[in-house]
Amino acid sequence: MAIAAKTSTAIGAFVLGALALGVIAILVFGGRNLFSPKLRVVAYFQNSVAGLAIGAPVTLRGVQIGTVSSMKVYLKLPELVPVIPVYMDIEPTQVSWTSDPLTAGASDLDLAIKAGLRAQLATTSLVTGQVSVNLDFYPNTVAKVSGESGGVTEIPTIPSDLQQVKNEIEDLKLPDLVERARTALAGINEIIGEMTGRVGPLVDSVRQTSDAAHVTLDTATGAVKQVQQDASRALDSIDHLSKTTEGEVKTAGKEIASVATSADKTVGHADKVVGNLGDLTAPRSPLRDDLEAAARDLAASAASLRNFSRTVEEKPNAILLGRDAR
C-alpha cells in the first residue's frame, strides 16, 4: 500500500510538473500574442465563399496578419440578396500601422481604407480548393460598404480574380454571340449556295474570255511580225536613200566648189572692169577730155539743129532760098 501511494504521488507530481512546464512555455513563446488585443474587422462578400473556413489565414501581400474568426449568411431585404459577413481578427503586432504597433486602432485602419485597402478572396490551393482572405491596396477602386457592420470596422471588398473572369465572361453575353454566329454562318451558307450556282456560268465565261484572249494574242503576234517586216524594209530603204543622198551631196559639193571658183574669177574680172572704168572717168584722163569735147560738139550741133528747125518752121522756103530769103 505504501509503495502504491508513493507511486501515485510521483505520477501526480510528474503530471503537475509537465503542466507547469507547458504553461511556462505558452507564456514564454505565445503569451505575448495570447494576451495582446485583437483588431476585429469585417468584410461583406456577395459572391460565394466556398473553400473559406474558420481559422483561414488573412494575409496582406502574402504575409499572414490574422485569421477568420466567424462568418454567416443573411438575406438582405427586400431584394433577398444573400450577403456573407466574414469577421476577422487582425494581429496588430503583425502590421506596423503607426510608430507604436501596440496602440493601433480603428482610426489607423480607416486611414488604410481611405488609401485603398480592400479585401479579396484568394485561392490558396487548387487541389483542396482552400480559400483565404487577402488584403491589399487598390486605390483606383470604389470603396463600397454595407453600413451594417454594427460598430465593427468594415473593409470594402472587390471580386476575386476568378470572379472577375466570370463577370467578364458573363458580360460577353455568350448566348447572343452564339446566336449571331449562327445567323452569320447561315448567311455565309446562302452566299456559298448562290456562288455555287453562279460559278458554272462564270467558269464558262472565263473560258470564253480566255479563248478570245488567245485569238487576240495570236492576231496581235501576227500583226507585230508584219510590222517588224515592214519596219525592216523601211529601214533598208532609209539606209539606201541615205547612201544615195550622201553620194549626191558629195557630187553637188564638187559642183558648188566649181561654181564658187568661177564666181571668184568673175569677181576678179569685174574688179578689173571697175578699175578700168575708174581710170577712164578720172579727172585728167585723155578719154574723159575727148568725151567732154564730143559732148560739147554734140551740144553745139543740137543747138544748130534747133535753130534750123525753127527757121524752117517760120520760113519753109529757106531751104531753097537760104536763111536770108523773104
Residue 22's pLDDT is what?
Answer: 64
Cβ proximity of 68 and 88 under 8 Å: yes
pLDDT at 100 (0 to 100): 58
Does 183 or 259 have the greater pLDDT score?
183
If pLDDT is split at 50, 70 and 90, which confidence band does 69 have? very high
- pLDDT tens by residue, 269-323: 767 766 766 665 666 666 667 777 777 888 887 877 777 777 777 766 666 566 5
What count of other Cβ atoms lies within 10 Å of the Cβ of residue 160?
A: 19
Retrieve residue 182's grid coordinates: 449562327
pLDDT digits (tens, 9 = 90+) for 180-225: 778 888 778 778 777 766 666 766 776 787 787 778 778 878 877 8
Residue 118 banded pLDDT, cuts 50, 70, 90: very high
pLDDT of residue 231: 74
From CA 53, how far away is CA 121, in angstroms rounded?
12
Question: DSSP labels for 282-323?
Answer: STT-HHHHHHHHHHHHHHHHHHHHHHHHHHHHH-TTHHHH-T
The cell for 198 is 453562279
Question: Residue 114 burial by CB count (10 A; 0-12/13-18/19+): exposed, middle or buried?
Answer: exposed
Cβ distance 132 to 124 under 8 Å?
yes
CB 118 within 8 A of CB 158: yes
Global pTM exceeds 0.85: no
Q: Which of 37, 28, 50 is nearest to 89 (CA)?
A: 37
- Other beta carbons within 10 angstroms of residue 49's beta carbon come to 19
Amino acid at 117: L
Q: What percent of the chain has pLDDT over 90?
A: 12
Q: What is the pLDDT of residues 141-175, one digit of tens each?
A: 888 777 676 788 889 998 877 766 765 666 566 67
